[in-house]
A and B are shown apart, each in its own frame.
Chain A
């Protein structure tokens, strides 16, 4: 299964949905890296994510690092409580730019 990317003039937005675990994180990673490759600031809409584990977090970190290297803005948007908790556990809530 793949995730949706939308693009407007100045931004690519990735919509992650459902449970992002070891089963689905490879598809999430692929979509996130694809969005970064497009060369525009990346927003990741997490409102549809009901669960995320460390493999999902690892995908976000990798995409974030690629975006940093390409000097692209990388933001997490509409982060739900369960994902916020996992980000906080990994102490990444201060690393990522999170917009509600």
Chain B
């Protein structure tokens, strides 16, 4: 068929000279908002159509990856006599498809001569004579195209200048759409992060509360991610017997965390009824098997410590071999003979049990994060490295000991590669001569991190301070220090967010009071916690100075979970 108009010979047509620079500025302004709405796109298209004196303009977005067989171009906005919004074309069809696939602006003077042209349906009753179509891409990633159709003047064709202008305008539009998507992604990420923090909060509450310092079974968990696949639990069965468990779920992240929640819940509910570790483990295994996803499993040690007999009875389902360090410093490892939970149905008889007499030794159960962490020399610590750390800290009371071991395993919690979970059973006889420093909890309460709650925090603190027989003045000093610390959490930690929490606990030590404040705000860098110089006269910056002046020690410690901050202030009782 003979073309109506040649594709290369462009007739000169007099018309108002379009000001593309102003159009570009107007378009950028149109898209300068955080959200690129359909109205903004339509308004932009209208400007483009007017500037090019075109009958219609449309914006297509790519759905699916450019190399995917089912990728399509969908018209998201259109202005002109025939609205094609919603029109969906396979990526390999039409002029628009060619523009996106070749990443070059297509100028088709006569659509009838172009084999790729897909005419609109007859029902639309609209003749497409001529097309100019520019691809949109950011960083070489195609995202769609803008197409203008039919110069209003039937004798005119789209010019080279129009082609250049549409190419530039498409780039501006692509950038706006890309930024908008990025913004939405960030909002989505922030929402997901918030949900993860909530999940971490739920998970943290599944872990047992910090044990009294003289408790014989102590544990801790440092999650490598916001949520953890490890867990431990400690259940007081009666005054003489304590049940404990430590488990590691295969995999990481939310999947592992959900399985961990189930294992933790089963231990807590069944552990009170079944007092034989082997049978308890088998029962938990049977329940887990029913719902476990393929490929996931749980390694777990369950045990009971009998304080009167100085005896540990435990069973092991595929977990790292627990260690007994005898009073004489000899280690014994107890490898599992049975597989992890969730792989095969446990034997009716239950998992085999091992009974140990502690006799001044300590029994250690730990997750593989403890042995697979890297030492200062860059080498994996292995079981041998963990043994060294245990021996180096064996003179400390059990609670302090596992905290010291965890601190050595994870000097920078932000760099933690795997969850660290550690549990120790210690009959106390080896450290009997050394008194633990903590002698009781005076107050433990959770508050909303809001200015209106500061008064209540001050009341609780003062009441605790007066319980130890301190003077009113001494108590007021502690109150001011705690108030200042909480202010910092509210203002700088939560930055005024109203759904934060502050957990306050006040412990009586032998000669001091120890105040611990936990929050769940993003970690605060220590160098952000320096007070200002007092010779600078300006509002603000005094709180940290007050805290340091009014107490004997201020420590920013690693929180037990990865989330939040842990501030400990110690003040000697006078």
Contacts and interface: CB of A to CB of B under 8 A. Distances in A.
Given A22-B451, A53-B484, A54-B542, A95 B490 contact: no
A4 interface: no
Shortest Cβ-Cβ A-B pairs, 6 listed: A58-B539, A23-B451, A54-B542, A22-B451, A54-B543, A62-B539
Interface stretch (A6-14, A71-79, A83-91): A83-91
A6 to B, nearest CB: 25
Contacts of B455: 19, 21, 23
A69 to B, nearest CB: 13
A41 B491 CA distance: 32
26 contacts: A19-B455, A21-B483, A22-B451, A22-B487, A22-B490, A22-B491, A23-B455, A51-B458, A53-B480, A53-B484, A53-B546, A54-B487, A54-B543, A57-B539, A58-B539, A58-B540, A62-B539, A82-B476, A86-B480, A86-B546, A89-B545, A89-B549, A90-B546, A91-B534, A91-B535, A95-B537
A22 B539 contact: no
A90 B542 contact: yes
A92 B490 CA distance: 25
Interface in B456-485: 458, 476, 480, 483-484
Contacts of B490: 22
A59 interface: yes
B539 A21 contact: no
Contact of B454 (A22, A90, A95): A22
A64 B542 CA distance: 16
B538 interface: yes
Contacts of B542: 54, 57-58, 90
Interface string A1-41: 00000000000000000010111000000000000000000
A53 B534 contact: no
Given A58-B539, A59-B539, A62-B539, A53 B545 contact: no
Interface string B542-560: 1101100110000000000
B122 interface: no
B452 interface: yes
A34 to B, nearest CB: 17
Looking at chain A's contact residues, the main secondary structure is: helix
A54 B535 CA distance: 15
Interface of B: 451-452, 454-455, 458, 476, 480, 483-484, 487, 490-491, 534-535, 537-540, 542-543, 545-546, 549-550
Nearest to A26: B451
Contacts of A57: 539, 542
Contacts of B476: 82, 85
A21 B454 contact: yes
Interface of A: 19, 21-23, 51, 53-55, 57-59, 61-62, 65, 82, 85-86, 89-92, 95
B539 A53 contact: no
Nearest to B455: A19
A82 B483 CA distance: 14
B546 A89 contact: yes
Contacts of B484: 53-54
A86 to B, nearest CB: 7
Nearest to B454: A21
Given A19-B458, A53-B483, 15 more contacts: A19-B455, A21-B458, A21-B483, A21-B487, A22-B454, A23-B454, A23-B455, A53-B480, A55-B487, A61-B539, A86-B546, A89-B550, A91-B534, A92-B537, A95-B537
B451 A21 contact: yes
Contact of B545 (A62, A82, A90): A90
B9 to A, nearest CB: 74
A90 B531 CA distance: 11
B534 A90 contact: yes
Nearest to A86: B480
Contacts of A62: 539
A86 B550 CA distance: 10
Residue of B490, B546, B549 with most partner-chain A CB within 10 A: B546
B462 to A, nearest CB: 10
A85 B473 CA distance: 10
A54 B549 CA distance: 13
Contacts of A22: 451, 454, 487, 490-491
A65 B537 contact: yes
A4 B480 CA distance: 26
Contacts of B487: 21-22, 53-55
B471 to A, nearest CB: 13
Contacts of A51: 458
Residue of A23, A54, A61, A82 with most partner-chain B CB within 10 A: A54
Nearest to B550: A89
Contact of A54 (B458, B537, B546): B546
Contacts of A92: 537
A23 B452 CA distance: 6
Contacts of B540: 54, 58
Nearest to A25: B451
A96 B149 CA distance: 76
Contacts of B454: 21-23
A7 B545 CA distance: 36
A85 B475 CA distance: 13
A51 B546 CA distance: 14
Contacts of A65: 537-538
Nearest to A63: B539
Nearest to A18: B455
Contacts of B451: 21-23
A94 B396 CA distance: 48
A53 B549 CA distance: 14
Contacts of A55: 487
Contacts of A91: 534-535
Nearest to A55: B487
B63 to A, nearest CB: 50
A16 B299 CA distance: 62
